[in-house]
Amino acid sequence: MNAVTWWFERALGTMAIVPQSRCVKLSLGMLAAVLCAACRETNSSRLAADSASARAIPKANGAIAADTATRTLATAAGVAEYHIDQVPVAAGRITGRVRLNGALPVDSLVTPDRDSTGCRPFLDVTLPQARGANTDTADVAIANAVVWLVGVTHGPRVLFPRRVSMMLDGCHLKPRVLLAPTGATMITSNRDEMLTNLRFVDHGVPGALPREEIQFTDPGQLVPSGKAVAKPGLVEVRDQYRPWVRGFVVVAPHPFVAVTETGGNFSFEGVPTGSYQLVVWHERLGARVLPVRVEQGVVTVVTVALGGS
């Protein structure tokens, strides 16, 4: 039973013992009291949820373990489900840029050692914007970094597309990092001629069973499904037979999740005022977390450096 229902039933029970002649006079005042009490209770619940979700990860400002970071995406809205505000609330904006900190690390990407006839060239797909940068990298932007807020329990409607696509083409998953809302329909397609069994597993969760497995035997196959994106989290996609086939699906619990574009930029609009944790993760450069404060009508600008200590 929600707060409004409980208070309304309580009001009706009170009116039942009032003489009928007074019921009409009391009804409007009683209804106003019901609504005010329900609003107070709802706001109190929301504040409690905000407080609980803000404790989802330790208050920090620096590097954190990548596995710890990715697990916070599944609980980014805290103990309560994300609530869509029916009326505008005080909000601000967050914009930022992700750049490389220090020298470019050694690429740990697994390269093909067999069945590579149909594979496209394996360049540095993990850092497409940092390719060739190996000395002074202060201005090197990082694409395909995942950014999200922890502690957001309410705000605007999620406007991500409800249908998303990932394609296996030349041993590469495209896009390498796919953003999808929770509960979307995901269409996975194949252009390769080799036997493939894609496994969708929660990243950073030891011993996790696959959310879904999709097998391809012929080029041109297409599989629509929602299992891999049924709940929030960072999902790693791997082929059972070819370890160099790799990608990620970012299943967002709220609108404040982004994948950086070629300039390393991201932006969150309509963030409710308050204090949050901003988490940034990259498959090769690790993860960082920093506290952010959002004020009404103010643009909060952040720069995040990945790759260093």
96 in Cβ contact with 303 (< 8 Å): yes
Average pLDDT for residues 177-184, to the nearest whole number?
96
The predicted-structure confidence for 132-147, as pLDDT tens digits, reads as follows 444 455 578 899 999 9
Q: Is the confidence at residue 17, as pLDDT, over 50? A: no
Transcribe 231-290 into DSSP letters.
S-EEEEEEESS-TT-EEEEEEESSS-EEE--TT-EEEEEEEESEEEEEEEEETTTEEEEE
Distance of CA 82 to the CA centre of its chain: 12
Q: Do 71 and 217 lie in a common domain?
A: yes
Q: Which of 188, 179, 185 is nearest to 222 (CA)?
A: 188
The encoded tokens of residue 280 equal: 């940034």
Average pLDDT for residues 238-258, to the nearest whole number?
94
Q: Do 183 and 243 lie in a common domain?
A: yes
Q: Which of 241, 245, 271 is nearest to 258 (CA)?
A: 271
Q: What pLDDT sits at residue 249?
A: 98
Beta bridge partners of 292: 276
Q: Do 210 and 276 lie in a common domain?
A: yes
Q: Do 186 and 45 lie in a common domain?
A: no
Q: Which of 231, 230, 39, 77 is nearest to 155 (CA)?
A: 77
Average pLDDT for residues 37-45, to the nearest whole number?
44
**Domain encompassing residue 246:** 62-306
281 in Cβ contact with 233 (< 8 Å): no
Q: What pLDDT sits at residue 81?
A: 79
Q: What pLDDT sits at residue 79?
A: 54
Q: Do 126 and 40 lie in a common domain?
A: no
* End residue of a domain, out of 11, 37, 54: 54
Confidence of residue 36 (pLDDT cuts 50, 70, 90): very low
Q: What pLDDT sits at residue 175?
A: 95
| HSE of 99, CA atoms in CB hemisphere, 13 A | 11
Confidence of residue 295 (pLDDT cuts 50, 70, 90): very high
Q: Do 45 and 194 lie in a common domain?
A: no
Q: Do 44 and 83 lie in a common domain?
A: no
The predicted-structure confidence for 72-110, as pLDDT tens digits, reads as follows 888 776 656 789 999 989 999 999 999 988 777 776 666
Helix (H) / strand (E) containing 76: none
| HSE of 256, CA atoms in CB hemisphere, 13 A | 31
Q: Do 225 and 81 lie in a common domain?
A: yes
Q: Do 162 and 180 lie in a common domain?
A: yes
Residue with tokens 């696509």: 165
Backbone angles phi, psi at 188, to 5 degrees: -105, 125
* End residue of a domain, out of 33, 54, 75: 54
Overall number of domains in the chain: 2
* End residue of a domain, out of 54, 71, 92: 54
Give me the long-range contacts of 66-69 (CB less than 8 A, separation at least 24): 66/204, 66/281, 66/286, 66/287, 67/203, 67/204, 67/205, 68/204, 68/287, 69/204, 69/279, 69/281, 69/287, 69/288, 69/289
In terms of C-beta density within 10 A (0-12 exposed, 13-18 middle, 19 or more buried), how is residue 150 classed?
Answer: buried
The DSSP output letter for 33 is H
Q: What pLDDT sits at residue 176?
A: 93
The predicted-structure confidence for 197-234, as pLDDT tens digits, reads as follows 999 999 988 899 999 999 999 999 999 999 999 999 99
Residue with tokens 């920090």: 60
Q: What is the CATH number of the domain that holds 238?
A: 2.60.40.420
pTM of the model: 0.78
Which residue would you say has higher pLDDT here, 157 or 140? 157
The encoded tokens of residue 228 equal: 């891999």
Q: Do 105 and 47 lie in a common domain?
A: no
Q: Do 89 and 228 lie in a common domain?
A: yes
Q: Which of 83, 51, 94, 66 is nearest to 278 (CA)?
A: 94
Q: Do 235 and 157 lie in a common domain?
A: yes
Which residue would you say has higher pLDDT here, 177 or 69? 177
Helices (H), the chain: 3-15, 20-54, 66-74
Confidence of residue 50 (pLDDT cuts 50, 70, 90): very low
251 in Cβ contact with 236 (< 8 Å): no
Q: Is the confidence at residue 55, as pLDDT, over 90? A: no
